[in-house]
Amino acid sequence: MLKASLALDPHLVVADVHRRTFGSFVEHMGRCVYTGIFEPEHAAADDDGHRADVLQLTRELGVSMVRYPGGNFVSGYRWEDGVGPVDQRPTRLDAAWYSLETNAHGIGEFVSWARKAGVEVNYAVNLGTRGVQEALDVLEYANHPHGTYWSDLRVAHGHREPFDIRLWCLGNEMDGPWQTGHKTAHEYGRLAAETARAMRQIQPELELVACGSSGSGMPTFGAWEATVLEEAYDQIDLISAHAYYDEATAGDLGSFLASAMDMEAVIERVVATVDRVGARRGERRRVDLSFDEWNVWYQGDLEVPREWSRAPRVAEDVYDLVDAIVVGSLLITLLRNSDRVSAACQAQLVNALGILRTEPGGPAWRQASFHPFAQASRFARGRVLHAEPVSPMYDTVQYGPAPLVHAVATHDPESDEVTIFAVNRHQREDVALTIETRGFPDHRFVERFVLDGDLRACNTQQQPERVVPRRVDAAEPVPGGLQIALAPVSWNVIRLGPRAVG
Ligand code: AHR
């Protein structure tokens, strides 16, 4: 049998696990908002029109923070269209997704939804068609207590308490020619710096995310970040990165399963660029990454409707087991890089590219990729450990040699629990993973979960529970640790604790 090992040491710490790593994204795209989180006519809708079934699944998913309202959508959005009496809100053309935007759902509704879901709001301002003033207006509406034009309007709209939004995105993917109001790096860098400076004059403690390049395949990748940071380094806290992967673009299954290698390289390159600019400028403060769009997305299949309609079906990819394993592996990479990636948003929450699916007037269900996310959010606690698997390699067309076992371990000093998240990328064979627990001599195996089986199995409205993790109670004790057989193409969660529980 193929063999790999992973040595655990509580003293070798990468960084704390950031709760913001488990962020998601709600964009006015397709049916993410309308008939996704919001469907007043639905039997499960609450008094605000939010679907209680989606809220419940969002809580179960363990999402910590949600970016809103876009995405490409935000670059042509007028936030004030979405506040006040609903019957007076204008319907507009949304050029990003060729949709009619009724504005029935706006910032106030979103903040109410986020509170019910127990998630932090990450709000994006429009720096495509708009600028500094509109960003200041929405900040005043959202966060100022009362006694000014915009804050009093918020109170008049029924939101007495300020929204207290701390994390703000300064636009979206501004290097993309598809972006409404697309800019050069210099133009955007200046605008981001001035917007940030003005927002901080109102509220210095805000955390601000500048747009990095929209992808590593962009001709602007790297140079964009460098120019933007030269303009805005001292005004921002985070710079964004975006990455989507799919099997068709990867070209073969082996490469697709190794998609996290690309994400790892993206992080490495953006960090190198950030630090180079920081060093050149003599900055003491570090800028970290917000990986605020990542997922599997079959972009080649994307058909944007060519007739104006409300909440059309856009994307709505159905994710299979392989996609779920890749999502798990991408999460492993985000966790492994917790020293520099302090926020991330799986894109998106529901429908569109969602980890959840709904039918209008019908049920809501978990896509296959729901499970690695939910388990990582639930069990990755405390600190990320430096635990590098020693693994056999395999050849990939896209990335050359890739490790068969991709893993990360976390240790929660409070509960003393250790969790290992591991993916086996081998398509046919088990890999025997030895977990060396000498650093945790009093720890015992608690439980493990495995997501494996038919690679093409999906969860659908008819079969919503086809892909679910199974619990396994056994691990083989070996000298210095324990051994687990990782099934081919599988996601594994292995939990150790100071004593056996459950
Ligand atoms: O998440 C879908 C789209 O992907 C977003 O609107 C955009 O930012 C990215 O290109």
- Does 293 participate in catalysis according to the annotation? yes
What's the number of domains the chain is made of? Answer: 2
Dihedral sign computed on CA atoms, order 368, 370, 371, 376:
positive
Which CATH number fits the domain that encloses residue 157? 3.20.20.80
Active-site option among 120, 247, 293, 417: 293
Do 371 and 392 share a structural domain? no
Distance between CA atoms of residues 66 and 234, nearest Å: 25
What separation in angstroms does the CA of 134 have from each of 126, 137, 263, 475? 8, 5, 34, 57
Contacts of 468 (CB under 8 A, 6+ apart): 371, 451
Which CATH number fits the domain that encloses residue 425? 2.60.40.1180
- Atom nearest to 242 CA in ligand 1: 9
Q: Are 119 and 59 in contact (CB under 8 A)?
A: no
Do 416 and 373 share a structural domain? no
- pLDDT for the residue 501: 47
Do 423 and 354 share a structural domain? no
Nearest to 422 by CA among 495, 346, 343: 495
Q: Are 343 and 167 in contact (CB under 8 A)?
A: yes
Instruction: Return phi, psi of residue 126, to 5°.
Output: -85, 110
Output the residue whose Cα is nearest ligand 1's atom 2: 71
Do 204 and 58 share a structural domain? yes
* pLDDT tens by residue, the chain, 502 residues: 999 999 999 999 999 999 999 999 999 999 999 999 999 999 999 999 999 999 999 999 999 999 999 999 999 999 999 999 999 999 999 999 999 999 999 999 999 999 999 999 999 999 999 999 999 999 999 999 999 999 999 999 999 999 999 999 999 999 999 999 999 999 999 999 999 999 999 999 999 999 999 999 999 999 999 999 999 999 999 999 999 999 999 999 999 999 999 999 999 999 999 999 999 999 999 999 999 999 999 988 888 888 999 999 999 999 999 999 999 999 999 999 999 999 999 999 999 999 999 999 999 999 999 999 999 999 999 999 999 999 999 999 999 999 999 999 999 999 999 999 999 999 999 999 999 999 999 999 999 999 999 999 999 999 999 999 999 988 999 999 999 999 999 999 999 999 654 4
Output the residue whose Cα is nearest ligand 1's atom 8: 71
Q: Which of 332, 354, 379 is the last residue of a domain?
A: 379
Do 394 and 492 share a structural domain? yes
DSSP 168-224: EEE-S-TT-TTSTT---HHHHHHHHHHHHHHHHHH-TT-EEEE---S-TTSTTTTHH
Q: Which of 338, 357, 379 is the last residue of a domain?
A: 379
Output the residue whose Cα is nearest ligand 1's atom 9: 71
- pLDDT for the residue 502: 45
Contacts of 421 (CB under 8 A, 6+ apart): 328, 331, 332, 335, 372, 375, 376, 379, 380, 407, 408, 409, 410, 491, 492, 493
Check if 342 has its Cβ closer than 6 Å to any atom of ligand 1.
Answer: no
Do 295 and 440 share a structural domain? no
Do 308 and 269 share a structural domain? yes
- Cut 0.85: pTM above it: yes
Do 295 and 425 share a structural domain? no
Do 268 and 388 share a structural domain? no
- Atom nearest to 293 CA in ligand 1: 1
Check if 404 has its Cβ closer than 6 Å to any atom of ligand 1.
Answer: no
Do 359 and 398 share a structural domain? no
Contacts of 272 (CB under 8 A, 6+ apart): none
Q: Which of 348, 379, 410 is the last residue of a domain?
A: 379
Residue 248 is inside which H or E element, if any?
A: helix 247-250
Distance between CA atoms of residues 243 and 263, nearest Å: 7
Q: What SS3 class is residue 333? A: helix
What separation in angstroms does the CA of 321 have from each of 23, 238, 371, 454, 489? 21, 33, 10, 7, 9
Do 192 and 103 share a structural domain? yes
Do 99 and 121 share a structural domain? yes
Distance between CA atoms of residues 228 and 212, nearest Å: 8
Active-site option among 109, 134, 140, 173: 173
- Atom nearest to 348 CA in ligand 1: 1
Q: Are 305 and 253 in contact (CB under 8 A)?
A: no
- Does 161 participate in catalysis according to the annotation? no
Residue 458 domain boundaries: 2-10+384-498
Output the residue whose Cα is nearest ligand 1's atom 3: 71
